[in-house]
Amino acid sequence: MAKMPTPDQLLSAIPASFPKAGWMDTKPDFHPGSYCYPAKTETLKGLGFENAHNWAPDNEDWELPENWEEIIYNSLKDALEKHRSLKVFMDCCVRCGACADKCHFFIGTNDPKNMPVLRAELLRSVYRRDFTTAGKLLGKVAGARKLDKSIIKEWFIYFYQCTECRRCSLFCPYGIDTAEITVIVRQMLLDLGLGINWIMNSVSDCNRTGNHLGIQPHSMREIVEFLCDDIETITGIRIDPPWNEKGHEVIFITPSGDYFADPGIYTFMGYLMLFHEIGLDYTLSTYASEGGNFGSFVSFDVAKRLNAKMYAEAERLGVKWILGGECGHMWRVVNQYMATYNGPADFLETPVSPITGTVFKNAAATKMVHIAEFTADLIKNNKLNLRPRRNDHIITTWHDSCNPARAMGILEEPRFILKNVCNNFVEMPEHTIREETFCCGSGSGLNAEEIMDQRLRGGFPRANALRYVHDTKDVNWMACMCALDRAALPPLVDYWVPGVTVSGLHELVANALVMKGEIPRTMDLRQEDLPFPDEDPEAAEEA
Amino acid sequence: MDITAYCTSKGEKLVGLWVDRFFASYPIDSTGFMRTRRDKFANPVGETTRNAAALLFDAVIGKDADPEAVKLALHDLIWIRAVQDMTPSQAVGAIVLLKDILRKEVLAECLKPENSSSGSLKGYLDMESRIDTLCLMALDMYAEARERVYRVRIEDVKQSQSQVIRLAGLRRERSEPLPETDNEG
Amino acid sequence: MTIALAATLLILFIGWAGPALGLQYLFGVILPLTAGAVFIIGFIWKIVHWAKSPVPFAIPTVAGQQRTLSWIKPNRLDCPWTTPAVVGRMLLEVLAFRSLFRNTRAERTTIDGTPRVTYFSNKWLWVFALLFHYSMLVIIIRHARFFLDPVPACIAVVEFLDGVFQIGAPRFYLTDAFIIMALAFLFLRRACSERLRYISLPADWFALFLLIAIAGSGICMRYISKVDINQVKEVIMGLATLHPVSPEGIGSIFFVHVTLVSALLIYFPFSKLMHMGGVFFSPTRNMKCNTRQERHVNPWNPPKNFHTYAEYEDEFRDAMVEAGIPVDKQPEPKPEEA
C-alpha cells in the first residue's frame, strides 16, 4: 500500500529549474489550449497550398508529405536566397540575451523557448546543419541539429507564440527582427500544409469576399445601415455612406473588424460621423473592405495578393488617394510593404487634405494616409468643433499598438487627438509605451479563442502596466489604434483589469464631435447615458 | 513566547523560502529571470508573487491585516497562476507549502519545554488554520478565474461577430435566410 | 563549456608544443600567413555571400516619431528618413551600441515612491561590451607598430594615452586591464545567469576562452616572460611584406600567442564573430524610414496574382444589384416569368 503523497511531493513533481537537458532535447507539449486549431484542408487547397492535408496537432503523426525534409530544405534555401535579412539574422546572433526579457510571451510564461533568441535558434540550429560547413561537420558542438519531425512540431508551437510585434528587434544590438523569422518559418510550415484556421480561413474569406468573416456585399451594406441607424438615434443625423461609387476623391479602407465586431463598430461609426461633418468626398468598397492583412502574418506572397485589391479598387473607382482606418498590421503592410508589393501607384495623386489643403508628402509614393494623421491635421487647423466635456467621465490612457509604433512611428498624432477630445489623459509607465510598447498578446493572427489562456499570459505585461495606472490614477479607459487590439484587449482587460473600457481613437473623437444640425447628445456612441450630457437649448430657454 | 513576534523576526527568511516554492511550481522556472529581476513592469509575475507572499505571510502569522488587502493579494496571485497552464492543485497548492516551511522552521521552537506554558502551540495551530482559510479562499478564486476565462472566450466570439449576430437576429424576425458565413473562428 | 575550454587549451598546447618540437617556421610563418589569408578571404566571402541575397522589403525598426505633419517634431535619429540620418543611426549603433544602451533605460529606482533594487546586468552588459570592443580596437592599433616601419605618429599617440599613468616598466597599458576585466565580466555573466547559460552554445564559450587566452598570452609576453621585441618586429614585418624571416629563437610564449591569434583569424569568418560585418547589413537598422514616400523596389517581386474585382462581381452581382450597390456589368435580364 502506497501512502498518499504530501502536498510537497505532489507539487514538486514539476522540475524546479531549467530542464537538465538542453533546449534542443526538450520537446513541446500538445494539449488543448496550447495550440490553435489547424486550417482546413479545402481552405488551404483553395489558396494554392499543394500539401494541405488533414491533421491534428495533438496527434503523434502529422501526416507530413513524404518528401517533407526536401520541402523544408528547399523552402529555407529559397528564403535565404530571397532575403538578406534572414542570412544576416541567421549568422549574426551572439546570444547576448538582451532580447530575452523583452518578449511579452517570455515575461508572461517564463518558458525559455519564448526568449526571442531561442525562438530564432529553433530555426538557426537547422540552418547551421544544412547550410554551414561547421554545422555539417561538428553537429551539436556547432549548435546544429538534424531536422526531425519533432522540430516541425516545435516550430508550430513557438512560431505561433510570436505576435510579430518586433519589440525584441528594438533592443537587439544587430537589429535581429524575430517577426521576419516568424513569417518565414510560418511560410515554411504552410509549404508542408500546416497552418492555423483563424488565420487561413480569414485569408480565404478576405480573398473571396473582401472581409475576414466572409460576409457578402449586400449583408455588409445592411450591417453598415444598422450602424447608421445607431448614429441617427444618437445624433439625429442620417448618414448614408456611398458604396463602390466611382468618381469620388478618396476611398476609405479600414480593417473589416471595424464593420462587424464590438467595440470596433463604434470606431467605425466615429469615422462616418467625422466624414459627414467635414463633408469628405469619399466612398467605401465592398470589394476592398479589408485593410488588415491576415496574409502578412504567414507569407509575403499571400500578403501581396490580399494587398493588391486596395490599389486595384482605388484605380477602378478613379479616386485620387486612399485614406486608411485605425489598424496595426494593416499599417505595417501599408507603410513598409504596399508600394513595394503592388506599386507604383501612379494612377493616384499625392494625398492632399481637401479640408485643410495640407499635402501629405510623407505618403507621396504609397498615396495612403493614416486617419490619425488626417484627423490631427483637421484639429490643428481648427476644422472641428469639439466638446471634450462629453468625455469627462473618462480617464483614458493610450496603448501604442506595436506596428503603428515600431513599423511606422505614429506616436504623437494619436496623443494630440486624444488630448483634444478628452480632458483626462494619463500615460502608462515609461518603457511600456511608445516604441517600447507591450503587445496585446494576440497579434499576428493569434486572437483565436481556443488559446485564450496563452493570450492572457502573453498580454499580462501590457495589462500589468494598465493596472498600475488604473490603481494609482483611476484610469478607466484605454484607447488604441488597431483592430486586433480592439478585439484582443477587451478579454485581456476583463480578466486582468476589470473596470477599464477599450475603444478606438475615433470613437472618442466622435463622442466629442459637435455636428452641424445634431440633437443635444445624451448618450455616447455605445448608447450609454452621458454623465455630462449636452444642455438642451429648449430646456435652457424655458428656465 | 509570542509566536507572531517570533515569526516576524524570521519573516524575511520564511517568505523567501515560500516564494521559492511558488517559483519552483512553474513548469519551467526561469530562475535567472523570475528571482533576480525586481521590476514591477519588466517582471510582473515575479513581483506580484513576491509582494503577495509577503502580505499573506503577515496575515498567516497573526499580524493585523486588512482583510480586503489580503484578499486582493491572494486574488492577484491566484489569477496569475490560473492561466499559467497548471493543474488546479498546482495553482492553489503552493499556499499549503507554507505549512511545511513553518513546521521545519517554527514548530520546533514552539515545542521547546520553556515555551510550553505560553500558549505558543495554540498560536502555531492557529497559524495553520489561517493557511487553511487562505487555501479555501484561493480555491474560490481559482474557480472564479477559470469561469472568467471561459466567459471571456464566449464574449470574444460574440463580440468579434456582434453585427453579424445582429443581422442574423433581424433576418430571423423577417424570416430571411441567415447571412452567409462559414467562419467558425 | 567543457568542449570549448578543451578546444582552447588544445590550441594553446599545440602553439607551445609545435615550436618546441622544432616546427618554428611552420608556427611562426606558415600558420599566421595562412590564417591571415583565410581571414581576409573568408571575411570577403561572407560579406559577398550576404550581399548576394537582395533586400526585398524595407523593414527598418522605427524607434521614434515619424515625419508627417509639419508641426509634429520628428525623431531624426530613431526614425531616419534621409541617408545622412541613417548614417547617424548606424554610427550610434556601431560606435555606441545604442540598441544595447536602450536597456539601461529600462532600469528604474523607485516605484510608488518606494526605492527598489533593480537588476543592472543589462546596463553592465552595455558598459562592458563597449569596454571590450574599444580595448580590442586600441590593442589592435597598438599592434600596428609591429607591422609598420617607421611607426606612424598616431600610433605613438594611442600608445602614449593608453599608458598615460606611466606605471611600471615596460609601461602598463590600461587597455590590457580593461580587456581582461571586460572578458571576465562577459564570461561570468554567461556562467552565472542560468538564463544565459541555457541559451549559450559551445561557440559562445569558445570565442570567450579564445579571446581570454589571446589577451592573457599577450600580457604575459609583455610583462612576464618577455621576448626580444626587435626580433619579433623583424619577423612580423617579414610576414607583412611577405618576405618571411626565420622566427627561430624567440620565446615560446610568442608562438603560443601567434597560434591563438591565428586560430581566431581562421575561426572568425565562420562564426558569430562576423557580427562585426553583419551589423552593417541589418535591414532593420540601415534603411530609411521613408517607405511611404519613396518606393522600395523588390528585385524578385512576383507578378500580381489576386482575386480581381471582375471575378468578385461575377460571384456577387445579383446580390449587389439588389442591395443597390453599383456594378460594372449589369446582370443579364432574367427570362420572362412564365
The answer on A188 and A282 residing in a single domain is no
**Which residues from C are below 8 Å from B26, CB to CB?**
none
- The whole-number pLDDT of residue C50 equals 95
Count B/C contacts: CB-CB distance under 8 Å. Answer: 27
Query: 3-class DSSP state for residue A189?
Result: helix
User: Which residue is closest to C204 within chain A, CA to CA?
Assistant: A94
User: Which residue is closest to C109 within chain B, CA to CA?
Assistant: B39
Has residue B1 got a pLDDT over 80?
A: no
Rounded-to-integer distance, Cα C330 and Cα C332, Å: 6
Judged by CB atoms closer than 8 Å, whether chains meet at A214 and B183 is answered as yes
Sign of torsion, CA A486 A491 A492 A494? positive
Mutation choice for C interface testing from B29, B30, B36 by most C CBs within 10 A: B36
Distances C249 to A445, B2, C217, C262 between C-alpha atoms, Å = 69, 80, 18, 20
Higher-pLDDT residue of B117, C6:
C6
Q: What is the arithmetic mean of pLDDT over B33-59?
A: 74
Distance of residue B43 Cα from the nearest chain C Cα, in angstroms = 11
**Which residues from B are below 8 Å from C198, CB to CB?**
32
Rounded-to-integer distance, Cα A113 and Cα A23, Å: 8
Task: Provide the grid cell at A218.
Answer: 449586400
Angle between helical axes of C309-322 and A197-209 (0-180°, round to 10): 70
The answer on A191 and A172 residing in a single domain is yes
Q: Is residue A269 part of a domain?
A: yes
Residue of A84, A97, A336 lying closest to C53 (CB–CB): A84
Calculated CA dihedral for residues A298, A299, A304, A306, nearest 10 degrees: -40
> In Å, how far from its chain's centre is CA C220?
28
Sign of torsion, CA A506 A511 A513 A519? positive
In chain C, what are the domain boundaries?
A: 2-281, 306-338
Q: What is the arithmetic mean of pLDDT over C141-170?
A: 81
User: Which residue is closest to C310 within chain A, CA to CA?
Assistant: A287
User: Which residue is closest to A79 within chain C, CA to CA?
Assistant: C53
The answer on A297 and A246 residing in a single domain is yes
Number of domains in chain A: 2
**Which residues from B are below 8 Å from A494, CB to CB?**
148, 151-152, 155
Q: Over chain A, what is the mean pLDDT?
A: 91
Q: Which residue has the cell 490560473?
A: B82
The answer on A212 and A190 residing in a single domain is no
The answer on A474 and A357 residing in a single domain is yes
Q: Is residue A18 part of a domain?
A: no
Distance of residue C218 Cα from the nearest chain A Cα, in angstroms = 25
Per the CB < 8 A criterion, the answer to whether B76 and B48 are in contact is: yes
Query: 3-class DSSP state for residue A243?
Result: strand
Q: For residue A349, which amino acid is it? A: E
- The whole-number pLDDT of residue B87 equals 85
Query: In this structure, what DSSP letter does residue A399 have?
Result: E
Judged by CB atoms closer than 8 Å, whether chains meet at B30 and C194 is answered as yes
Distance of residue B118 Cα from the nearest chain A Cα, in angstroms = 30
CATH architecture for segment(s) C2-281: Up-down Bundle (1.20)
Among residues A132, A160, A195, which one ends one of the domains? A195
pLDDT in tens, C181-240: 999 999 998 888 777 888 899 999 999 999 999 999 999 888 888 788 888 888 888 888
Q: Hey, which residues 177-236 in chain A have their CB within 8 Å of chain C? A: 177, 180, 207-210, 216-218, 221-222
Judged by CB atoms closer than 8 Å, whether chains meet at C100 and A246 is answered as no
Q: Which residue has the cell 599566421?
A: C32
Residue of A110, A265, A490 lying closest to B34 (CB–CB): A110
pLDDT in tens, A216-244: 999 999 999 999 999 999 999 999 999 99
Q: Which residue has the cell 466612398?
A: A283
Rounded-to-integer distance, Cα A290 and Cα A223, Å: 15
* Radius of gyration of the CA atoms of chain C, in A: 30
- The whole-number pLDDT of residue B26 equals 60
**Which residues from C are below 8 Å from A375, CB to CB?**
none
Q: Is B98 exposed, middle or buried (0-12, 13-18, 19+ CB in 10 A)?
A: buried
Q: Which subunits sit against A, judged by 3+ Cβ pairs under 8 A? A: B, C
Judged by CB atoms closer than 8 Å, whether chains meet at A453 and B85 is answered as yes
**Which residues from B are below 8 Å from A101, CB to CB?**
33, 37, 42-43
- The whole-number pLDDT of residue C121 equals 47
Q: Does A351 touch chain C (CB under 8 A)?
A: no
The answer on A240 and A131 residing in a single domain is no
| C125 closest CA partner among C57, C188, C59 | C188
Judged by CB atoms closer than 8 Å, whether chains meet at A173 and C103 is answered as no
pLDDT in tens, A369-423: 999 999 999 999 999 999 999 999 999 999 999 999 999 999 999 999 999 999 9
Which band of pLDDT confidence, cut at 50, 70 and 90, is reported for residue A142?
confident
Q: Is residue A220 part of a domain?
A: yes
Distances A512 to A385, A474, C204 between C-alpha atoms, Å = 8, 21, 57
Percent of chain C residues topping a pLDDT of 90: 51
Q: Is residue A422 part of a domain?
A: yes
**Which residues from B are below 8 Å from C117, CB to CB?**
38
Distance of residue A457 Cα from the nearest chain C Cα, in angstroms = 20
Higher-pLDDT residue of C103, A38:
A38
User: Which residue is closest to B181 within chain A, CA to CA?
Assistant: A214
Which band of pLDDT confidence, cut at 50, 70 and 90, is reported for residue A160?
very high
pLDDT in tens, A186-208: 999 999 999 999 999 999 999 99
pLDDT in tens, C23-44: 888 888 889 999 999 999 999 9
pLDDT in tens, A444-461: 889 888 899 889 888 988
Mutation choice for C interface testing from B23, B38, B171, B176 by most C CBs within 10 A: B38
The 3 state secondary structure assigned to A460-502 is HHHHHHHHHHHHHHCCCEEEECCHHHHHHHHHHHHHHCCCCEE
Residue numbers of the domain that contains A86: 23-195
- The whole-number pLDDT of residue B177 equals 58
Q: What is the arithmetic mean of pLDDT over B143-148?
A: 92
Judged by CB atoms closer than 8 Å, whether chains meet at B39 and C195 is answered as no
Rounded-to-integer distance, Cα C259 and Cα C253, Å: 10
CB atoms inside a 10 Å sphere around CB B24: 18
Helices (H), chain B: 3-9, 11-24, 31-34, 44-60, 67-81, 88-93, 97-102, 108-111, 120-160, 162-173
- The whole-number pLDDT of residue A111 equals 82
**Which residues from A are below 8 Å from B84, CB to CB?**
109, 457
- The whole-number pLDDT of residue B176 equals 59
Has residue A542 got a pLDDT over 70?
A: no
The answer on A179 and A243 residing in a single domain is no
Task: Provide the grid cell at A196.
Answer: 492555423
| A100 closest CA partner among A121, A114, A86 | A114
Q: What spatial distance separates the first Cα and last Cα of chain A, rounded to whole Å?
A: 88
Among residues A135, A163, A195, which one ends one of the domains? A195
Rounded-to-integer distance, Cα A509 and Cα A378, Å: 12
Has residue C331 got a pLDDT over 70?
A: yes
Has residue A17 got a pLDDT over 80?
A: no
Query: 3-class DSSP state for residue A244?
Result: coil
Helices (H), A35-94: 41-46, 68-82, 84-92
Residue of C119, C196, C198 lying closest to B39 (CB–CB): C119
**Which residues from A are below 8 Å from C302, CB to CB?**
301, 304
- Please report how many Cα atoms fall inside a 13 Å half-sphere around the Cα of residue C319, on the Cβ side: 17
Q: Which residue has the cell 563549456?
A: C1
Judged by CB atoms closer than 8 Å, whether chains meet at A309 and C306 is answered as yes
User: Which residue is closest to A434 within chain C, CA to CA?
Assistant: C64
User: Which residue is closest to A342 within chain C, CA to CA?
Assistant: C304
Has residue C12 got a pLDDT over 70?
A: yes
Query: 3-class DSSP state for residue A359?
Result: strand
Which band of pLDDT confidence, cut at 50, 70 and 90, is reported for residue C272?
very high
Has residue C115 got a pLDDT over 60?
A: no
Q: For residue B79, which amino acid is it? A: W
The answer on A268 and A138 residing in a single domain is no
Q: Is residue A212 part of a domain?
A: yes
Mutation choice for A interface testing from B135, B148, B160, B162 by most A CBs within 10 A: B160
Among residues A150, A169, A195, which one ends one of the domains? A195
Query: In this structure, what DSSP letter does residue A20 have?
Result: S
Rounded-to-integer distance, Cα B120 and Cα A484, Å: 58
Predicted TM-score of the model (pTM): 0.88
Q: Hey, which residues 460-519 in chain A have their CB within 8 Å of chain B? A: 460-461, 464-465, 468, 487, 490-491, 494-496
Which residues are A425's β-sheet partners? A396
Task: Provide the grid cell at A184.
Answer: 518565414
Sheet of A477-480, strand order:
A396-399, A477-480, A501-504
Mutation choice for C interface testing from A86, A91, A207, A338 by most C CBs within 10 A: A91
Q: Does B31 touch chain C (CB under 8 A)?
A: yes
Q: Does B36 touch chain C (CB under 8 A)?
A: yes
Which of A75-89, A480-494, C118-132 is least confident? Answer: C118-132
The answer on A409 and A302 residing in a single domain is yes
- The whole-number pLDDT of residue C285 equals 92
Interface of C with B (CB under 8 A): 106-108, 111, 116-119, 193-198
Query: 3-class DSSP state for residue A102?
Result: helix
Q: Does A321 touch chain C (CB under 8 A)?
A: no
The 3 state secondary structure assigned to chain C is CHHHHHHHHHHHHHHHHHHHCCCHHHHHHHHHHHHHHHHHHHHHHHHHHHHHCCCCCCCCCCCCCCCCCCCCCCCCCCCCCCHHHHHHHHHHHHHHCHHHHHHHHCCCCEECCEECCCCCHHHHHHHHHHHHHHHHHHHHHHHHHHHCCCCCHHHHHHHHHHCCCCCCCCCCCHHHHHHHHHHHHHHHHHHHCHHHHHHCCHHHHHHHHHHHHHHHHHHHHHHCCCCCHHHHHHHHHHHHCCCCCCCCCCCHHHHHHHHHHHHHHHHHHHCHHHHHHHHHHCCCCCCCCCCCCCCCCCCCCCCCCCCCHHHHHHHHHHHHHHCCCCCCCCCCCCCCCC
Q: Over chain C, what is the mean pLDDT?
A: 86
Q: Does B32 touch chain C (CB under 8 A)?
A: yes
Has residue B34 got a pLDDT over 60?
A: no
Residue of A118, A169, A341 lying closest to C61 (CB–CB): A169
The answer on A333 and A402 residing in a single domain is yes
Has residue A14 got a pLDDT over 90?
A: no
Distance of residue A269 Cα from the nearest chain C Cα, in angstroms = 20
Task: Provide the grid cell at A257.
Answer: 473588424
Higher-pLDDT residue of C184, C102:
C184
Which band of pLDDT confidence, cut at 50, 70 and 90, is reported for residue C117?
very low
Q: Is residue A446 part of a domain?
A: yes
- The whole-number pLDDT of residue A379 equals 96
The answer on A459 and A316 residing in a single domain is yes
Which band of pLDDT confidence, cut at 50, 70 and 90, is reported for residue A139?
confident
| C268 closest CA partner among C49, C40, C33 | C40
Distance of residue A56 Cα from the nearest chain C Cα, in angstroms = 30
Rounded-to-integer distance, Cα B74 and Cα B55, Å: 9
